[in-house]
Chains A and B, each alone.
Chain A
C-alpha cells in the first residue's frame, strides 16, 4: 500500500512531463513546420506558428510594437518579445532557443565563432539608428556640454577624478555619481567601447542598473548624478532630465540620422537564424518589419530610420540569403549605406 501512493505520484509527474512531444508538433492548428526543423530547436523554444524574439532592451520598444501590430494582423502567428539584454539575447540565439536576437551593438567575434560552432548561420539586419544620450539632473546648471575626454575623466577605468572640479576647472567641487546600464546591455558595451575607448572597462564607482527607468529615476533624484541611455528613453522623459551635447553635438533625430552625433551614434540590429528565415511565419514577420507599416514602430518610439535605400539593400540581402556580419568588421566612420554598398 505504501509504495502505491509514491508510485502514483511519480507516475503523474512522468505523465505530465511526457506531454512534451505532443506540444512540439501541432500547436493549435497553426502552420506546422517540417518536423525535423521543429526538433532542431535544442531547448525546444522554436515552435511552428511562433516567432520568439529576445535581446536588447533598447530595441525592445521597436520589436514589441512590430510584434503587436503584426500579431493583430496575423492571429495564427504568436510573436513573443523579451528584453534580457543584448548579450543574453545572443546566448539564447546561439543555443537555438530563440528565432531572432535584437542587438544594440554588432555581434562580437566570439559570438560569431560560437554561432559557427553550433552551426547557426545568421542574417544581419540593421533596423534603426539610435544615439546613446548622456543625461544629468535638471538642476545641474553648470554641465552644458561634455567632450569625449571629459567623458573618459568621468567614467574611464583609470580616472582619478572624484568631483566635478576634477573634470573641468571652474565646476563646483561636489562629488559626482555615475550611473548607466549593467554589463549585459549592448548600450553599456557600446558606450565603453566607443565613448571611453576600452570595451567593457569602466571605473568601479559606476552604479549599474538593469532597467532604463531606474537610470532616469537615479538622475532625476540626484543633483550630482550623470547617466547615459538610448535616445528614446531620454525623449520619453525630456521634462525630467537634462540632455548633454557631446563634442558640441546634441543628439537629435537629425544629428543621429546624418551621422554627425559621434561617437555615441549607433545602429540597432536584428539577427535572424538563416535556417529559420525560410519558415513562412518568420519570413512574413521580416517582410512586415521592413515594410513601411512595420517601420512606423521606429519613429513612433522616437528612434531614427535608416535611409530608404538602406532598407532596400537589406531586403535584397535577405532575399539573396546573405549571411554573416558585415557591420562588425566595417571600418570606423563608414555609414550604413556605405557598408551595405561595399558588401554588395
Chain B
C-alpha cells in the first residue's frame, strides 16, 4: 500500500512532525536567547575590552577604568574557596562512599542534608556567612570571610560530584587491592583516587566557576563597590568581577554600561576557559576507563 494514499496514516505522520517541531523550538529557544544575549553584550562591550581594561586599575571614571582589583579579587576568592572546600568536600565524599559503604541512619541523614544543601539559594549562604564568619568569628567584611562563605556554597556540589566519580571506579579495583593486603587507605590512595581524579577535578572546576560567577552572597558578606588596591592579606576588603558588573549596570552614566558589558565579556571568557578545561579532563577520563 502506498503511504501517501492512506489518510489515517498521513494524519499520524503529520502529528508526529508537528510534535517534532515543537520539541525543536523548545530546544532552539535556549540557544536563540543565548545568542541574542551574547550578541548584545559583545556588540556593546567588545570595543572596551583590551589589555588596559584587564590590567588597569578600577576607576569611577567609566572611560578609563580597568578591572584589575576585581579580577585579582575574583582570583583570590576562587583559589581560597578551592583550598578550603576541596579537602573538606573530597574528605566527606571519601567517608560516605569508601569508609562507610554500609549505610546507617547517620550517614543517610548526612547524605540527605548534602543533597538538600545543594539546592539552597545562594543568598541564604550569604546570610549564614554574615552571621557566622563576619560577626561571630569577627573576620569582618574580608576576603577570608567571602572565601569561607563561597566554600560553604560549593561544598555540597564538590561532595556530590566526588561521590559520583568514586562510584564510577569499578569495585574490582578496590577488591583487588584489598585482596593483595592493602589497607583501605592504601587502596583508596593508590587505586581509587587516581582513577576518580579526572572526574573529581571536573566537578571541582565546575564548582569553582560557579563560585566566581556568584554575586549575591558576596554582597551580603561585604565585598565592596570600590577598593583602591588589591587585597594583600586575608583580612583585607575586596571586590569581585560580578559585583563590578552589578554596580556598573546600576550606574546612571551610559559609559558605565559599556564598561559593564566589557566586564561581562571578561567574566564569560574566564568561565568558558574553565569549563573547557573541565570538558577536556572528562574526555580524558572517559578514554582511560574504556
| A61 sits at the interface (CB 8 A) | yes
Give residues of chain A (170-190) contacting chain B, Cβ–Cβ below 8 Å: none
Q: How far is the CB of A16 from chain B (nearest CB, A)?
A: 6
Q: Is A20 touching B234 in the complex (CB atoms < 8 A)?
A: yes
Q: Is A64 touching B60 in the complex (CB atoms < 8 A)?
A: yes
In angstroms, Cα B60 to Cα A9, docked, is 42
Per-residue interface assignment for chain B, residues 135 to 170, with 1 indicating a CB less than 8 Å from any chain A CB and 0 otherwise: 101111110100010000000000000000000000
Interface size on B, residues (CB 8 A): 47
Q: How far is the CB of A235 from chain B (nearest CB, A)?
A: 9
Q: How far is the CB of B84 from chain A (nearest CB, A)?
A: 6
| B250 sits at the interface (CB 8 A) | yes
Q: Is A5 touching B94 in the complex (CB atoms < 8 A)?
A: yes
Given A19-B234, A52-B237, do A45 and B252 touch, yes or no (CB 8 Å)? no
**A-B contacts at CB below 8 angstroms, number:** 143
Given A2-B99, A68-B226, do A16 and B148 touch, yes or no (CB 8 Å)? yes
Q: How far is the CB of A167 from chain B (nearest CB, A)?
A: 27
CB contacts (< 8 Å) of A237 on chain B: these are 252
| A280 sits at the interface (CB 8 A) | no
In angstroms, Cα B150 to Cα A63, docked, is 29
In angstroms, Cα B94 to Cα A216, docked, is 53
| B249 sits at the interface (CB 8 A) | yes
Given A16-B148, A65-B60, do A212 and B250 touch, yes or no (CB 8 Å)? yes
Q: Is B95 touching A6 in the complex (CB atoms < 8 A)?
A: yes
Q: Is A80 touching B135 in the complex (CB atoms < 8 A)?
A: no
Q: How far is the CB of B168 from chain A (nearest CB, A)?
A: 20
In angstroms, Cα B234 to Cα A45, docked, is 12
CB contacts (< 8 Å) of B36 on chain A: these are none
Interface size on A, residues (CB 8 A): 54
Chain B interface, DSSP helix/strand/loop, else mixed: loop
Q: Is A82 touching B224 in the complex (CB atoms < 8 A)?
A: yes
Contact of B138 among A1, A43, A214 (CB under 8 A): A43
Q: Is A71 touching B228 in the complex (CB atoms < 8 A)?
A: yes
Given A5-B94, A47-B235, A212-B252, do A20 and B229 touch, yes or no (CB 8 Å)? no
CB contacts (< 8 Å) of B224 on chain A: these are 52, 54, 80-82
CB contacts (< 8 Å) of B222 on chain A: these are 45, 82
Given A16-B84, A16-B148, A43-B134, do A81 and B141 touch, yes or no (CB 8 Å)? no
CB contacts (< 8 Å) of B99 on chain A: these are 1-2, 5
Q: List 19 A-B contacts (CB under 8 A).
A: A1-B99, A2-B95, A2-B99, A2-B100, A5-B95, A9-B87, A9-B91, A27-B232, A28-B232, A42-B138, A44-B235, A45-B237, A50-B237, A70-B228, A71-B228, A80-B237, A81-B226, A82-B222, A212-B252
